[in-house]
């Protein structure tokens, strides 16, 4: 028999295998969603050949060790097709097939959309438009930092291509020439409620991706042979990422449902499911051909990388009473010092490195500094991908611009990823740039997310320590930094810890407690001096750690100060420092008064704007005097 004939027979055998595997994936997706009574079987069906071809004809991976560095990576951006993903991993042997029937059940890790509770899920998906950014971070890590030879495959839906974040990621991936990244777009032409914008206009899809510099291949998404050819072409492509535009039919292979736009997110009832499964089983044949993993890897995947906690002992170079520096400047210096000795740290900056001072890190570790440009969603998404591969990514931009990326931050929290978010230029104290540049809702955003550590240092020394603390801490963190240069308060030897505050002023005769953070610490100290001259002694706390909060010290200090608490913050009234303190003291019978920004600010210098917002030293002193007048000495008990 000729070599060509043998090759042709092998190719036919492989495509038959992939076709039958696709049918098996459809059957299991239908069975799982019908058992659950909810889910997206039609979204699974349109991508069955895509996933079958990738898992059983293209990717190199060991299902027994899904986190190993030698594995290729698959990321499901269209997370509502989770049953298809689970079916593929079960078919590959990652877990018993019977577990599929626990889909969407309480206590099952096979959730409605994928999360990293499953070892083969790098990041949580389901909020559409995020998968490509994370995949770009994973691909860059594999190529530039680890040199593992990994290829990264991501499946997008055509509906989510309306998200701007997809095109932020597309531009960034092309700029970085990520030729180990391959996207497949499931172009089934239907969204949730109506046809997609481009439907099956493949020329329009091609024009968009081509304009972003991608290698573009159009295929019949239900043809394993065409899909195999496309992925082999992608493997040979150098210098740019590849997108496979797969024209598909939503609900393909489900009789009576194919191409029906009214079946999104609907499970089949038991009778209909039985008929569909019978038809798919007939097309499948009596049995499936066997598939073996491309690689076998003994033992577990590599352990997570942890930044050495000895970094917390780095000595900040600032001296109190003489030095003046901004917290953002101290952050940049600390990050450079830590990064020079810690290979796992990577920095992604939003084209503001000369303002966030991440340029200091670039000087010592240019290969680990990534320019994110003005694309905040993609910046955070890339960091999610890096964190999924055990890097410690710092993402830095102005605090106000993080609002653009909040959904990514929400998904990073759901994923439990070790991302470090740094927001500079927080509050009205940034001054003349005006309200569009003032981050005044960032604490509310970050503190709302479970598992986020939130630190807000007041001076250069505490900012230096805070940088080291979040670098060493496992889990998502937010560091809030100001713009203005301020006096150094703390000695270089001062100890700081997550979950602990600093009591700056105290006496046995304190009549009120002032809780501040960041720039308002200096206003609180000025108010302390003014009140002391008037014969009123107060206690002052630099909160430092907003979440977790030092509830024990707050309670003790509040009761030692007559039961009167004044909080003051350069942040909007809802969800910030004041609410964090209120929550910590909610079971105490105390008088608590919040001073915060209540309206839209304007341009001006910092002192003018702090005064206008009602958070200056004079306003703090007035609030204290009003409170102690209302409650005579002796407290609220």
Who contacts 367 (Cβ-Cβ below 8 Å, separation ≥6)? 144
Outline where 285-426 has alpha helix (H). 327-339, 353-356, 359-364, 376-388, 406-415
DSSP 592-626: EEEEEE-S---SS-HHHHHHHHT-SHHHHHHHHHH
Instruction: State percent of the chain over pLDDT 70.
Output: 93
Q: Which two tokens stand for residue 383?
A: 């960091």
pLDDT digits (tens, 9 = 90+) for 537-584: 999 999 999 999 999 999 999 999 999 999 999 999 999 999 999 999
- Over residues 16-26, the pLDDT tens digits come to 999 999 999 99
Q: What is the pLDDT of residue 304?
A: 47
CA nearest neighbour of 546 among 617, 464, 442:
442
pTM for the full predicted model:
0.94
Give all strands (DSSP E) within 227-361, no chain letters.
Answer: 242-247, 324-325, 345-349
Class of domain 503-630: alpha beta
State percent of the chain over pLDDT 90.
89
Task: Give the tens place of pLDDT for each residue, 111-134.
Answer: 999 999 999 999 999 999 999 999
CATH architecture of 309-487: 3-Layer(aba) Sandwich (3.40)
Q: How far apart are CA 216 and CA 226, in angstroms?
A: 14
Tokens of 106: 């309480």
Over range 278-292, report the average pLDDT.
72
If you average pLDDT over residues 48-62, what whole number do you get?
97
Mean pLDDT score, 101-116: 97
Whole-number Cα distances in Å, 626 to 24, 555, 622:
73, 21, 6
Q: What is the mean pLDDT of residues 37-53?
A: 97
Over the stretch 502-543, which tens digit does the pLDDT of each residue have?
A: 999 999 999 999 999 999 999 999 999 999 999 999 999 999
For 454, phi then psi, to 5°, come to -125, 120
Residues known to be catalytic: 376
Query: pLDDT per residue over 304-354, tens digit each?
Result: 455 555 455 578 999 998 999 999 999 999 999 999 999 999 999 999 999
All structural domains of the chain with their residue ranges:
3-284, 309-487, 503-630
DSSP state of 162: G
Query: Would you give the DSSP letter of residue 586?
Result: T
- pLDDT, one tens digit per residue, over 433-459 is 999 999 999 999 999 999 999 999 999
CATH 3.20.20.370 at 3-284, yes or no? no
CA 629 to chain centre: 47
Of 39, 31, 43, nearest to 274 (Cα)? Answer: 31
């Amino acid at each position: 028999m000729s070599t060509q004939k043998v090759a042709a027979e092998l190719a036919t055998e492989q495509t038959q295998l992939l076709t039958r595997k696709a049918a098996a994936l459809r059957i299991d997706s239908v069975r799982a969603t019908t058992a659950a009574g909810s889910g997206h079987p039609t979204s699974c069906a349109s991508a069955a050949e895509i996933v079958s071809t990738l898992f059983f004809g293209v990717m190199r991976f060991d299902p027994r060790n899904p986190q190993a560095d030698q594995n290729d990576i698959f990321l499901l951006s269209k997370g509502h097709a989770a049953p298809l993903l689970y079916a593929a991993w079960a078919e590959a042997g990652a877990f018993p097939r019977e577990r599929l029937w626990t889909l969407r059940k309480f206590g099952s890790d096979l959730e409605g959309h994928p999360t990293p509770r499953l070892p083969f899920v790098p990041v949580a998906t389901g909020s559409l438009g995020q998968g490509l950014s994370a995949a770009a971070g994973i691909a860059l890590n594999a190529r530039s930092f680890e040199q593992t030879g990994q290829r990264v495959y991501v499946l997008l839906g055509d509906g989510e291509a309306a998200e701007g974040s997809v095109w932020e990621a597309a531009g960034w991936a092309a700029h970085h020439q990520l030729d180990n990244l391959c996207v497949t777009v499931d172009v089934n032409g239907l969204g949730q409620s109506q046809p997609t914008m481009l439907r099956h206009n493949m020329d329009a899809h091609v024009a968009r991706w081509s304009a972003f510099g991608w290698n573009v291949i159009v295929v019949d998404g239900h043809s394993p042979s065409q899909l195999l050819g496309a992925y082999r072409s992608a493997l040979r492509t150098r210098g740019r990422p590849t997108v496979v535009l797969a024209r598909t039919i939503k609900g393909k292979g489900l009789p009576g449902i194919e191409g029906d736009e009214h079946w999104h997110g609907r499970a089949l009832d038991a009778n209909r499911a039985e008929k569909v499964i019978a038809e798919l089983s007939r097309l499948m044949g009596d049995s499936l051909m066997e598939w073996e993993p491309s690689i076998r890897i003994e033992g577990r995947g590599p352990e997570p990388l942890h930044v050495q906690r000895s970094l917390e002992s780095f000595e900040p170079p600032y001296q109190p009473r003489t030095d003046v520096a901004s917290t953002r400047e101290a952050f940049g210096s600390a990050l450079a010092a830590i990064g020079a000795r810690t290979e796992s740290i990577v920095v992604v900056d939003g084209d503001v490195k000369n303002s966030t001072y991440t340029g200091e890190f670039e000087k010592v570790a240019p290969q680990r500094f990534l320019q994110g440009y003005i694309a905040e969603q993609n910046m955070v998404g890339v960091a999610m991908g890096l964190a999924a591969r055990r890097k410690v990514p710092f993402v830095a931009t102005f605090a106000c611009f993080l609002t653009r990326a909040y959904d990514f931050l929400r998904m990073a929290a759901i994923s439990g990823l070790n991302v470090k978010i740094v927001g500079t230029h927080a509050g009205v104290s940034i001054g003349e740039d005006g309200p569009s540049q003032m981050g005044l809702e960032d604490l509310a955003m970050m503190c709302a997310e479970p598992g986020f550590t939130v630190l807000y240092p007041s001076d250069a020394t505490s900012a230096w320590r805070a940088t080291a603390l979040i670098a060493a801490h496992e889990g998502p963190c937010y560091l809030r930094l100001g713009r203005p240069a301020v006096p150094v308060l703390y000695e270089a030897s001062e100890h700081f810890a997550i979950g602990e505050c600093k009591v700056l002023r105290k006496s046995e005769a304190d009549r009120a407690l002032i809780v501040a953070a960041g720039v308002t610490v200096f206003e609180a100290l000025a108010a302390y001096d003014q009140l002391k001259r008037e014969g009123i002694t107060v206690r002052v706390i630099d909160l430092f750690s907003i979440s977790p909060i030092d509830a024990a010290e707050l309670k003790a200090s509040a009761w030692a100060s007559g039961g009167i608490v004044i909080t003051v913050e350069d942040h909007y009234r809802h969800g910030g420092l004041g609410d964090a303190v209120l929550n910590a003291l909610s079971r105490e019978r105390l008088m608590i008064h919040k001073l915060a920004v209540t309206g839209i600010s304007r341009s001006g210098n910092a002192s003018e704007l702090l005064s206008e917002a009602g958070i200056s030293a004079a306003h703090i002193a007035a609030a204290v005097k009003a409170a102690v007048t209302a409650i005579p000495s002796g407290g609220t008990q």
